[in-house]
Amino acid sequence: MGTSDTHLLLSSIMLTFILCLSCSMAKVEALNKNVSAFYVFGDSTVDPGNNNYIDTPFRSDFPPYGMDFSSHVPTGRFSNGKLPTDYIASYIGLKELLPPYLDPNSNNLEVLMTGVSFASAGSGFDPLTPSISNVIPLPKQVEYFRACKQRLEGALGKQRSEDHMKKAVFFISAGTNDFVLNYFTLPMRRKTYTTPLAYQQFLIQHVKEFIQGLLAEGAQKIVIVGVPPIGCLPFMITLNSPNAFLQRDCLDNYSSVARDYNLLLQRELNGMQSQFRSFNPDAKIYYVDIYGPIADMIQAHEKFGFDEVNSGCCGSGYIEASVLCNKISNLCPDPSKYVFWDSIHPTEKAYHNLFLANVPKIDFIVNN
């Protein structure tokens, strides 16, 4: 093959690549004019399987996790099926399922362009929290996003990549592990932060720093989720109720901490939004409530078709999660009758209800 033939072949390959990339971009824009991509950060509520690719015991890539997922495959999602972010990605027309960033199949431009999850089950805003189970800290998740962004810049050019990021939605779901696995379970943080309020303020400072980090990377639409009624998690009832095996009611002294944190978080986000107006008027920060919808499913469970609200479907439902919920565990006959799949994580049906409860807010975020 001569030099001119080689140049012709390379030119043809480059042209084909550019055309394919343009088609991908056109496809994304055609699906949704307002949102170009969906990038997710956080913990097990939004981790579709990143923990499969790291050395941690906190994973769920084995049965019975995923039993109601397509092909009944355990993907690493901490549920019997889909996560809320899967429903959101499908609803806004980007992709049917949101993949984990660390999955080798995610390592192509079209997948990265429409969105991935960087989340890691067990992570949190407190730097101590991810170290408990050796999972991916939130700052490291931002590093992964930065590498993703650099790949897009190399393919699209800096200006098109910046425009793409301006229309992307950045979604953050974390904080529950900071309270459940860290502050209320281990003594270390309680020695330093002697009141829940002091610890809440510590967490919110980390939330602010995380959001500022995303803004510095070009994010314009940032969504942050509050924490659930943590006193209603089967795990918390088992560990903290004096008669956990006889009387399993929500523990309001723990859920009240979650409510207070959510109020402080909303107040802080409103303040940040006001600060940004002067130098970054296009940046928008949205709060999404999950406390209310989950509390409703528990308190009015018959209305939602649930029979069991204070124990999980897997094992005894009192303490099992991750490796303790496994292929030899007893299972409830019908997960759709349970709010919780294991002792911490909701079922696919509960997650779907959570998504449906927030559709008006999702529509508002997408269209503003």
Give the residues of the chain that fall short of pLDDT 50.
Answer: 3-31
> Per-residue pLDDT tens for 332-352?
999 999 999 999 999 999 999
Closest by CA position to 25, among listed 163, 216, 117, 214: 163
pLDDT of residue 243: 82
Q: What pTM, to 2 d.p., does this model score?
A: 0.90
Active-site residue, 345 included: yes
Task: Tell me the two tokens of residue 152.
Answer: 């897009």
Geometric angle at alpha carbon 271, from 266 and 273, rounded to 5°: 95
- Residue 24 included in any domain: no
* Catalytic position from the list 36, 43, 44, 126: 44
In a domain, 105, yes or no: yes
Residue 88 within a domain: yes
Spatial CA neighbour of 98 closest among 269, 351, 282, 283: 351
Domain contains 264: yes
Whether 18 is in a domain gets the answer no
Q: For residue 310, what are its two tokens?
A: 């204070």
Quick check: is 25 in a domain?
no
Range of the domain at 69: 33-367
Residue 227 belongs to domain with CATH number: 3.40.50.1110
4 in a structural domain:
no
Q: How many domains does the chain have?
A: 1
Whether 55 is a known active-site residue: answer no
The pLDDT value recorded for residue 31 is: 42
C-alpha 154 chain-centroid distance: 27
In a domain, 22, yes or no: no
Q: State both tokens at 36.
A: 């170009």
Any idea which residue has 């996560």 for tokens?
A: 83
Predicted local distance difference test score (pLDDT) of residue 278: 72
Cα separation, 295 vs 301, whole angstroms: 9
pLDDT at 32: 55
- Active-site residue, selected from the candidate residues 164, 206, 345, 352: 345
Q: Which pLDDT belongs to residue 280?
A: 82
State yes or no: is 255 an active-site residue: no
Among the listed residues 43, 86, 103, 342, the single catalytic one is 342
